[in-house]
Structure 1
């Protein structure tokens, strides 16, 4: 009985890790698309008025991925 429970727990943890891993991939893709769009036509949001401000989106992407990574270890 305990072997079955341990196997089920291990399977659940692997699926949970895979879901969070896909979250970082999705975030990376979304931020790359936003950065590319901003280079062609600035978004016009506060702090993102000029094309050279695309680095701010990259900083936001790094912070968002960092939050997802930290949440993996906490939760």
Structure 2
């Protein structure tokens, strides 16, 4: 399952750090962060609930980029 989230990040390098952190999160199959559109697309492992995985994604992203925001809608 893929979901798109609106994000707020200041630079392309920070977006890249967020993408790498999200990809390493348990339950995430793949993640793409687009700095230009300020969006993150997260593809979850089969059987994983996005609502239970996203808090870990946010925590991982905040660890590498404390000023970032990910809006869960």
Between Structure 1 and Structure 2, whose CA radius of gyration is higher? 1
Higher percent of residues as strand: 2
Q: TM-score, normalised by structure 2?
A: 0.36
Highest relative contact order (Cα 8 Å, sep 6+), 1 or 2? 2
Which structure dedicates a bigger proportion of its chain to helix? 1
- TM-score when scaled to structure 1? 0.35
